[in-house]
Structure formats: structure tokens, C-alpha cells
Amino acid sequence: MPRRRRGQPVHGWVVLDKPSGLTSTQAVGRVRRLFDAEKAGHAGTLDPLATGVLPIALGEATKTVPYAMDAVKRYRFRVRWGEARDTDDAEGKVTETNAGRPDQAAILAALPRFIGAISQVPPAYSAIKVDGERAYDLAREDVQVSLAPRMVQIEEFVLVGQPSGDAADFEVRSGKGTYMRALARDLARALGTVGHVTALRRLAVGAFDESRAISLERLEELGHSPALLEHLLPVETALDDIPALALAEDEASRLRHGQPVSLLRRADRPRLDALLAAGDGPEVIACALAEGRPVAIVRLVEGALHPVRVLNL
């Protein structure tokens, strides 16, 4: 009996405005079913409490997920002062209280300490693996785990409002792997009190921002209609931050077969110089295109393009 095909070859990105109360995995599953796609993944987990931009990759777009995850992200969140919780957000149990309520001057004075490359200990309730198990699974079983600090990059950390003496709102631009819950926890400690996140929204992941986002409710209203495909962004959207290079069809064919393409001929010098100028060193990552369509993610090494991921579009 022939093996049943699982889904259709749908390729591209959906920028979902994730609702609160849904895990990222559940959101991906629902979008995948709506598009009847063979493969799906996402570019960075959002906590169930969180809302906002969750880029979901379908089909060949899953090969570009690492490049989206490396992009700068933007968040808005609210910190409730005076209560520490075991999850560092409103879903956890209170573990400590403190009467301290920082004023605007104290907050503004503390923020510069959290900008740039900083050391951060991830929350106990996180997806980090410890001896093969997720930290949040161990935490739910009351197993004490010690998570190692990691260096993260904070580009911007701004106080945007104080709705009451008990709370403050912030916006952050950060690099990969930064936990807003840990940032809120550590800021509160630096201010002589404790705190936790009560609301969290992701505003952007690289080129994917709120202007491109669509709600799950709206996607489900569209069902399996052709209008659904209007909300599918091209695979290469995730590659906006890396240089693009146009190839002839014979060059594209070599890459599709896993073979390198040399750019050492005199006629190729302009293309080679442009790639080197766009990169940070002798090895450059680029998106190779043929007739305007992405062919592969390539690495330029010693004047030759080597396929890193071939895109079967």
C-alpha cells in the first residue's frame, strides 16, 4: 500500500499574531493544518502568556529558520513590582514579596546597566535542556536545577510608562536567546525589590513585524480558501539581512547538485567584490538567486560559493 502523503508542498512564512494562552507549538500545529503543509516550524518560542509576532515557516522556509532566529527582536512588557514568582511571570506561584516600589528616577538610572552584552541566567521555567530534559519539566516536578549564565545582547531598554506605582512598562531590542522574564527579574533585584512580568508582547523578529502579522482567528475564518495564500510571505523574507547574489542557470544547477560555483574569473570580479564588501570577513553567507527565485543559502570561501542549504522551490 503506498505511503499516504502528509500535507502539500507549501513554502513560505506566516507572521502570526499569537494569542495569549497558546503555546508556540500549538500555534504552529494549527497554522500547519490550515495550510495543509508538509513541514512547519517557528522562529523563536513565545511563552503561553505572551502575545505577538510568531514567524511560522512552512515547507522549504524551515531551512531559513536559523537566520530568522538570529535576527534582532523587539518586545514590550509590563513588570509588577513587589512580587517574585517561580516562573518569573504571572502564571507562577509567589515566592517572595518586597515593599520596594522604584520611582522613575531610580528606574532610569538602573537601565544603562542592562544595555550591551550582559550575563543572564535563564528562568527555571524555560525550554533549555538539562541532562536531556527541559528545564520547565524539571521545575514542575520540583527538581532544583542550576542553569548556567549566558551572554546576551541588549540593544535598547526603554521605560515607556508607569501605569501605577506597582508597575512599569518597557520596550526592548535584543539579540538571540534573551529572556524578558529574566530581564525583568534582574532589573527588579537591581532596584532593591523583586518583580515579575504580567504582560509580554513581541513586536518584531527581524523583518517580521506587527504590520505583517495576522491573527489566528482571521486565518481560521479564511479556512482553506485561496485568500489564505495571500498571507504567505516568500521564503527569502527571513534572509533580508544577508546579501543576495544573482546566478546564471548553469551556476544554479551546480548548487542544486551540491557543487561549488567559482567566482574567480575576471568577469565575476564585480560579483565577488560586492559579496566581500557585504560580509564581515573572507567567509560570507549569501542567498543565491536564479531568475529572481532563491536557489540556495551559500557560503563564499576562497572565491567559491558552497551550498549550505539548497532550497527546492
Instruction: Please confirm, yes or no, whether 47 is among the known catalytic residues.
Output: yes
Distance CA 157, CA 107 (A): 11
Q: Which of the following is catalytic: 47, 86, 88, 186?
A: 47
DSSP label at 68?
Answer: H
E strands, the chain, in order: 12-18, 40-42, 51-58, 73-81, 83-85, 94-97, 116-120, 129-130, 133-134, 150-164, 167-174, 195-205, 208-209, 214-215, 244-246, 261-262, 284-290, 293-301, 304-310
Q: Which of 174, 237, 233, 220 is nearest to 200 (CA)?
A: 174
Residue 22 burial (CB count, 10 A): 18
* Residue positions annotated with a catalytic role: 47
